[in-house]
Amino acid sequence: MLKQGLFQKLQQKLSPQQIQLMKLLQVPTAELEQRIKQEIEENPALEEGEDHAEEELPSEEQAIAESADAEGNEENERDDFDLSDYFPDDDTPDYKLSVKNKGADEEDREMPLAGGATFQEILMDQLALREIDERTEQLGQNLIGNLDEDGYLRRELDAIVNDLAFTMNLMTDKAELGRVLKVVQSLDPPGVAARDLRECLLLQLDRMPHTVEGRTAREIVDKHFEAFSKKHYDRIMERLEIDEEALRGAMDVITRLNPKPGNTTRESSKPVQEIVPDFIINTVDGQLELQLNGRNAPELRVSRQYRDMIEAYKRDKKNKESKEALMFIKQKLDGAKWFIDAIKQRQHTLLTVMESIMEHQKQFFLTGDETKLKPMILKDIAEKVGMDISTVSRVANSKYVQTPYGTILLKFFFSESLTNEAGEEVSTREVKKILKDAIEAEEKRKPLTDDELTALLKEKGYNIARRTVAKYREQLEIPVARLRKEL
């Protein structure tokens, strides 16, 4: 049974201004510039530059009321458009009319990008120079298109044969495709179009000079690859009947090979963009100074032309067109004011949160010693600045701080805590740094096991379980002791 009734309830809703501020908070500096340009394009009432004359904008009710009470019917005259004002009639070169008024300390906001040919395009160009028939070139191009970013052919030849038949109506078989694959594998860089790591290394070894070390290296990869991948060096020396010196020479040859030939051109072809720090911290006379990157504080103003248009429409006779135009102008002016206020609030929030982080990690910023990092989580900073955890998280998201010791991601300073034997809370970053230093200083012929690393940390006063040590080692992307072994 349907029933109507009046009910009261409390409900929290975010205003459009709050949503806009939250979105701006999590945007890094490089993207903020694009966001501002987009807003300027969408809202003609927003302009770049400093506003020297702040005036109160009339409220929506006031503007409509004054428009309704206004008398007279003054026509808005529009001056004629004279193109001669925009095109000079003299033959003065452009370079004589331009000047660089940039000071030495002015910030350069250009972001250089580098680009080049893709990995597949380079292989296609090489294939076109080979003396092969049109069908072989067409099949070769399809194989090149199936290579992954590391330069490997991960798909089975049978699957590619079916794709060619269904998508291109090109009938072939596995044997023919295998012959074309040999042509693609002869292209540069060596090892390209391999189906696994073993084949990739063999393709590179086949192009190297046939030395004693090279022949031994090829035999190791070809016949003893599993023992080589697991670093069972004693087993390899026993099977090949070679001494440690000969094995070391072969290992030097193998370690110089490229396991990912696609990376050779991929890294140079993809656009490279510089990291723009959001904050800058300097040390002056033992004191820390924090400043916000200038790109986070753009000069924006509300268009004076749109302000004047309100006055013009207020003097006009009340009609539907004038009222709609007045509402449109007021909407754009309000949008511009809200955006400027959101940018200012963003600057204030960023500085407030970063000042708290800088104060909490003061010893690190003064010394650059990673072991001086204190345990810090989002809740600690949120309580200090009196903000919500989600707000602090948005500030820390994808932001960088420039320090005398390098440009560091803001999330780097957040870490969990653990208690040492003295009862002091220390950061897990400190433990990871000690763990990393111990592994770097270990004897490579006999690497430290997780049990030995656990004992080493306990000697230093960190009572940590072995599984925790293994977890920290994996977070540092350090392999187990057996895989760290070197001759």
Structure tokens at 140: 């070769």
DSSP state letters, 424-456: -EEEHHHHHHHHHHHHHTS-TTSPPPHHHHHHH
Residues forming a β-bridge with 376: 415
Q: Which helix (H) or strand (E) element contains residue 46?
A: strand 46-48
- DSSP letter at 299? -
Under DSSP, is residue 288 helix (H, G, I), strand (E, B) or coil?
Answer: strand
The residue-averaged pLDDT of 309-324 equals: 67
Pairing mode of beta strands 279-284, 400-403: parallel
| pTM summary value | 0.55
Q: Indicate if the pLDDT at residue 353 is higher than 80.
A: yes
pLDDT, greater one: 393 or 270: 393
Burial classification of residue 311, based on how many CB atoms lie within 10 Å of its CB (0-12 exposed, 13-18 middle, 19 or more buried) = exposed
Residue-wise pLDDT for 385-409, tens only, equals: 898 888 888 888 888 889 988 888 8
Encoded amino acid at 412, one letter: F
pLDDT, greater one: 359 or 107: 359
Question: Which among 428, 442, 453 is positioned nearest to 371, based on CA atoms?
Answer: 428
Q: Which helix (H) or strand (E) element contains residue 66?
A: helix 60-69
φ, ψ for residue 281, nearest 5 deg: -115, 125
Q: Are 358 and 365 in contact (CB under 8 A)?
A: yes
Encoded amino acid at 113, one letter: L
φ, ψ for residue 157, nearest 5 deg: -65, -35
Residue-wise pLDDT for 361-374, tens only, equals: 888 888 888 778 88
Structural domains of the chain in order of their starting residue, each with its CATH number:
119-266 (no CATH), 417-484 (1.10.10.60)
pLDDT of residue 37: 84
Handedness of CA 482, 483, 486, 487 (dihedral sign): positive
pLDDT of residue 79: 40
Other C-beta atoms closer than 10 Å to the C-beta of 151 total: 23
The residue-averaged pLDDT of 161-167 equals: 88
Under DSSP, is residue 174 helix (H, G, I), strand (E, B) or coil?
Answer: helix
Asked which of 91-105, 172-186, 335-349, 405-419 is least confident by mean pLDDT, the reply is 91-105
pLDDT of residue 54: 45
pLDDT, greater one: 224 or 91: 224
Question: Which among 355, 367, 353 is positioned nearest to 283, based on CA atoms?
Answer: 367
Q: Indicate if the pLDDT at residue 22 is higher than 80.
A: no
pLDDT of residue 53: 46
The residue-averaged pLDDT of 93-112 equals: 50
Question: Which among 457, 420, 248, 459 is positioned nearest to 449, based on CA atoms?
Answer: 457
pLDDT of residue 81: 36
The residue-averaged pLDDT of 246-275 equals: 74
Q: Which of 101-110, 133-142, 302-311 has the highest mean pLDDT?
A: 133-142
Encoded amino acid at 267, one letter: E
pLDDT of residue 12: 65
pLDDT of residue 487: 64
pLDDT of residue 63: 45
Name 308's Cβ contacts closer than 8 Å, sequence gap at least 6. Answer: none
pLDDT of residue 356: 92
Query: Sorting pLDDT into bands at 50, 70 and 90, what band is 313?
Result: low
Q: Are 160 and 122 in contact (CB under 8 A)?
A: no
pLDDT, greater one: 202 or 55: 202
Q: Indicate if the pLDDT at residue 266 is higher than 60.
A: no
The residue-averaged pLDDT of 295-317 equals: 69
Structure tokens at 417: 């805590």
Structure tokens at 315: 């003097």
d(CA 68, CA 463): 79
What Rg do the C-alpha atoms of the chain give, in angstroms? 34
Cα separations in angstroms, 254 against 36, 143, 208, 483? 52, 27, 11, 15
Q: Indicate if the pLDDT at residue 430 is higher than 80.
A: no
Residues forming a β-bridge with 425: 419
pLDDT of residue 323: 72
pLDDT of residue 425: 65
Dmax of the chain from CA atoms? 109
d(CA 51, CA 36): 16
Q: Quick one: residue 65, left, alpha or beta (phi over 0 = left, psi -120 to 50 = alpha)?
A: alpha
pLDDT of residue 421: 65
Encoded amino acid at 44, one letter: P
pLDDT, greater one: 85 or 199: 199
Query: Sorting pLDDT into bands at 50, 70 and 90, what band is 93?
Result: low
Residue-wise pLDDT for 212-258, tens only, equals: 888 888 888 888 888 888 888 888 888 888 888 888 888 888 888 88
Residue-averaged pLDDT of the chain = 77
Please name the residue that has the structure tokens 């049109």. Answer: 134
Query: Sorting pLDDT into bands at 50, 70 and 90, what band is 85?
Result: very low
